Chains A and B, each alone.
Chain A
Amino acid sequence: MEKSIAELRETFKTGGTKSISWRKSQLKALLQLINQNEDSIFKALDQDLGKSPVESYRDEVGVLKKSVTYTLSCLEKWVAPKKAEVPLLFFPAKAEVMPQPLGVVLIFSSWNFPFTLALDPLIGAISAGNTVLLKPSDLAPACMSFLVETIPKYLDNKAVKVLAGGADIGERLLQLKWDKIFFTGSPRVGRLVMAAAAKHLTPVTLELGGKSPAIVDTLSTTPSKAKVTAKRIVGGKWGPCTGQACIAIDYVLVEEKLASTLIELLKKTIKRFYGENIKSLKNISRIVNKHQFQRLVNLLKDPDVADSIVYGGSVDEEKLVIEPTILLDPPLDSEIMSEEIFGPLLPIITLKNVEESIDFINSKSNPLVIYAFTEDETFKKRILSETSSGTVTFNDSMVQVVDKRT
């Protein structure tokens, strides 16, 4: 391991990675890797997570291809120094801000979008001119093996390396000095990564998670809008890796009087998208492993929580499948309402008035995304100014990640 990192440092020192032509060649090679290995990528995702090709293309392959082509088209602009104004006091002086690579970068990726979360940060690191060590998650082993075997065939081995392994390898990597660490995963491990980085004063980017709520205020508009709302909620919960996504809808907030309408719409949509029951379930990923399966099953063990199930709840331990499950008003102090769910269970919390969602969301820690289905411009403004989240998306779910400019 130390030898690999020493090689990455040596390569960086030679200055090769700083050239625009090197960066472009690596990005083009990455695009080729994706284009030429689509079927293997689909296969690995199916093996690790039961993802269908459409989901895999929509959330991983397509997103990555877009990311590479966007980066290639903007690279020269991004790399160019930016002129800065100089006050009269310093006449005649010129000033500019010049982007420079940090050096040797460590990327930890997660298991739920094993390609996107490994290669999208890699695209950034390469385009900025760094050398990189990528440590994919061993909880998606087929994808990890694919990356370990395939990346060396396309990219510059002296500048981009992939290391297989589990938490122990991760810990050893964290003892070493990096110029930047990019981590995607849970807040718990995020703290460990940052604490390790602190010893070397290494800057970090931490992509974590949280309980991303969906506020629903559009059910009393036209039936077509209500249907679209339901589709987007279902698509935003069970569409991405059966809810195992940082930006999946975690729970829903809706006015009491509209709860039953919403639940009926959701049930219809779930059946249409994924099948009538657990035996005929299709178009949906599975739970990644037994540990996560057990964690999710345990969330339903609390009798008050189990009582609040209004749809679904069946599980298949052998196939690691939990059917799409809706709960109505589980106790607010239950684990399912205090921990990030990261799975196919959707609590619906009712409020007297939809405006109360703002206080409800603010009583918890800042989520990664707030989804708000509303056409009330005043309410939209209030949500924007009175809550704090990574992102806010109005009237849809999930799609905000595809827009490269936000």
Chain B
Amino acid sequence: MTSEVENKPVICTESAKELVKELRASFATGKTKSYEWRLTQLNAMVKMMEEKEPQIVAALHDDLSKPELESSIYEIAMLKNSCRLAVKNMKHWMMPEKAKTSLVTFPSSAEIVSEPLGVVLVISAWNYPFLLSLDPIVGAIAAGNAIVLKPSEIAPATSLLLARLVAEYLDSSCIKVVEGAVPETAALLEQKWDKILYTGNGRVARIVMAAAAKHLTPVVMELGGKCPVIVDSDINLQVATRRIIAGKWGCNNGQACISPDYIITMKDYAQKLIDSFKCELERFYGKNPLESKDLSRIVNSNHFARLSKLLDEDKVSSKIVHGGERDKENLKITPTILLDVPRDSLIMNEEIFGPLLPVFLVDKVEDSFDVINSGTKPLAAYLFTNKKKLKEKFVATVSAGGLVINDTTVHLAEPTLPFGGVGDSGMGAYHGKFSFDAFSHKKAVLYRGFACDAFVRYPPYTRGKLGLLRALFDGSILGIIRALLGWSKA
């Protein structure tokens, strides 16, 4: 790991306050609202990625031993697409949306105007430290806000690089990076923000939301959960296995919010499934996965210890059917599969966030829905099947942030789908236009003229007026005529 010791300014409550004040002043100038400013920032971000890709890949490798392909595609390319989509569509997104009006307010016209919220805070996570920092910012910029980014200190090389790149490429009077750990985050959370987008875990999310509550700041919480994969027996097993492996170990070695967490399959299909895994895992990562360059490492010794604890639990350690090898010094654990783990084990109750894949057994595939619904709502849920009715039941019964049928994780790359959780897996969503919307206030605007002033609204209140009001609300022209003639019930 490269180590660069620098004198970073440590942020405290006072300086956090000053920081917000400065950004509010920048926002008040109206600079961030202009289309040109937003376009310049987004284009600068694309340029940054084109010019600095090697440095970004290197930082991600330092922090996570992330394979170059994962960094280039899942972080950089995804982010470039996000910027390009915003650049292409922003003008259209910024346009007011006409809204229909009704007889009650006739004559009038109405529209919904998107305006920036103001000064927003983005707190990002360590596992996709580049993407999860800048992707929300794409939305915040497109919506015209001033921004503070607090990257995760658990990915220090990327955090440092982000601070440098943002200062070099983006407008530092309106977009700032604050590095640091818990004290710095706490200082930032004491301030009043117009929106906070937090990516991380449920424990810290509660702290963020409680801090936001003091200022009535709306929040988007991108959290996690145990993302289940239901595997039916009537499928193309090889394709399904590969897709599960790609979503699990291919995504930061299982350290991703939407990685398959555990599998549910039928008792009499399990062996076939496991054999398929063993075969494909060897094909992907070789006979000695501890040496494979295509797997991220475990991020740090804390998480290594946490994952080891999950494996060492008595009722679980005997269930390992593949892998289980560890290299503490290099923070590596091989792709590990466990079969028939007890429902009440730790590994079946905590979000794993690592390269361990428990397989939970049911008698018939329909029983999986109860297993999933007995836990908290996950960020994603996956089903591999060809049965139409099963797909329909899955979509209707399982509540999760997002669902994918016959694949894993790819819905993240789909900008027309909102990406976010529900219940314990989060609130709010972003990606594509949803990012723009997440950082905008949708202002309702009603235009009225002076003609046709409805006397019926004003005192003195008479029975006749009551009758006419009824007719007006009912929207029936006949009713209105009758009321005007005094023929209707008052």
Which residues of A does B touch, CB under 8 Å? Answer: 13, 15, 18, 52-55, 57-58, 62-63, 65-66, 84-87, 89-90, 93, 95, 97-98, 100, 102-103, 179, 187, 190-191, 194-195, 197-199, 201, 203, 206, 208, 218, 224-225, 228-229, 231-232, 234-235, 239, 272-274, 282-284, 362, 384-386, 388-396, 399-400, 402-406
Contact = CB atoms under 8 A, between A and B. Distances in A.
A239 B417 contact: no
B47 interface: no
Nearest to A369: B444
17 contacts: A57-B469, A65-B474, A66-B104, A90-B414, A95-B417, A100-B399, A195-B213, A229-B450, A273-B459, A274-B459, A384-B113, A384-B443, A391-B445, A393-B445, A396-B108, A405-B110, A406-B444
A393 B28 CA distance: 23
B279 interface: no
Contacts of B118: 388
A239 B469 CA distance: 15
Given A272-B460, A385-B30, A399-B446, 19 more contacts: A52-B461, A54-B462, A57-B473, A63-B473, A65-B473, A191-B214, A194-B213, A198-B206, A199-B206, A231-B458, A239-B457, A239-B458, A273-B458, A390-B443, A392-B444, A393-B446, A403-B110, A404-B102, A406-B111
Nearest to A195: B213
B324 interface: no
Contacts of B418: 97
Nearest to B416: A84
Contacts of A284: 459
**Which residue among B221, B395, B427, B445 has the maximum number of chain A CB atoms within 10 Å of its CB?**
B445
Interface string B296-310: 000000000000000
Nearest to A70: B102
A392 B443 contact: yes
A288 B358 CA distance: 60
Contacts of B427: 201, 203
A395 B216 contact: no
B448 A95 contact: no
A399 B206 contact: no
B112 interface: yes
Interface in B399-435: 399, 407, 410-411, 413-414, 416-418, 422-424, 426-428
B466 A54 contact: yes
B416 A208 contact: no
Contacts of B278: none
A264 B108 CA distance: 28
Contacts of A389: 443
Contact of A84 (B414, B443, B470): B414
A352 to B, nearest CB: 22
Interface residues on B, range: 35 or more
B18 interface: no
Interface string B208-223: 0110111010000101
A188 B216 CA distance: 9
Contacts of A399: 104-105, 108, 446, 448
B1 interface: no
Contacts of A231: 453, 458
Nearest to B426: A201
Interface in B89-111: 99-102, 104-105, 108, 110-111
B5 interface: no
B470 A62 contact: yes
B109 to A, nearest CB: 9
Contacts of A86: 414, 416
A191 B216 contact: yes
A311 to B, nearest CB: 17
B257 interface: no
Contacts of A406: 99, 101, 110-112, 444-446
